Amino acid sequence: MGYQRPVPYSRSTSWAAHRRRNPPSSEPGIDMFCPIGTPVLAAESGRVADTGDSIGPATGRFVTIDLDDGRRVRYLHLKSRTVSVGNRVRRGQVVGYSGATGYGEEDWSWNVAETGGAHVHMTLWPLHWYVFGSNGTLDPEPYFDADGVAASESAKPIPKRRAPMNYIRITGKAGERRGGTYAVFAASDGTYVAEFVGDSGPDNLVELNDEGQIGRLQNIIRGLR
């Protein structure tokens, strides 16, 4: 089963469009346009990891949830929130109400030319941490339910994972594989999973820049791309 969409919406701005901006968004996600005060629903069960109540930053008021499947989701520009850090939430629970907060304003919905109008911005990360930059987030769209049916194979729950075993940086674009940093996990089903986490990472990285090394790694780890 895929993720719950946070709000019913009349139109949206895609993750790809955020990355194509000039300059690109530092937190690519999906903007879902809806009336102020629309209940915002949790994508999946998890724990509230972070909240923000200031209208000063571009984010406005926000709620961040570390999902039980290992990913992180954040909802921006909220009018208000109904949860606090540490709270457990269930799939479909109301975690806040949509707004148009941020950039120092309580309501910037009047500025349709620059903002598009009131909306909820949803960001999805592959892990329980923030990675900012145009390559740091996931496109939420493939992870959503479509009329109650998972939108794609990638929307299926992934095996529960332990803490990352290691972090691996692949230099450049070796073959068809994406350059950048990957976190390697041992999953509960006995397999290994590598997920892209951005263009940077912690200091204790294993550097890979040889096609043979990467090929051998791919033989034992599924999900490296």
What 3-state class would DSSP assign to 76? strand
pLDDT in tens, 29-47: 999 999 999 999 999 999 9
Return the closest-CA partner of residue 34 out of 123, 104, 114, 116.
Answer: 116
pLDDT in tens, 82-112: 999 999 999 999 999 999 999 999 999 988 8
Return the closest-CA partner of residue 40 out of 86, 71, 9.
Answer: 9
Query: The tokens of 185 are what?
Result: 């996990």
CATH code: domain 11-155 is 2.70.70.10
How many whole angstroms separate alpha carbon 123 and alpha carbon 76? 8
pTM above 0.75, yes or no: no
Q: What distances in angstroms separate CA 164 from CA 8, 108, 158, 185, 197, one per listed residue?
A: 35, 40, 15, 5, 12
pLDDT in tens, 157-203: 334 445 555 556 665 544 444 556 666 655 555 555 556 555 555 54
How many whole angstroms separate alpha carbon 52 and alpha carbon 224? 34
CATH 2.70.70.10 in the chain, residue ranges = 11-155
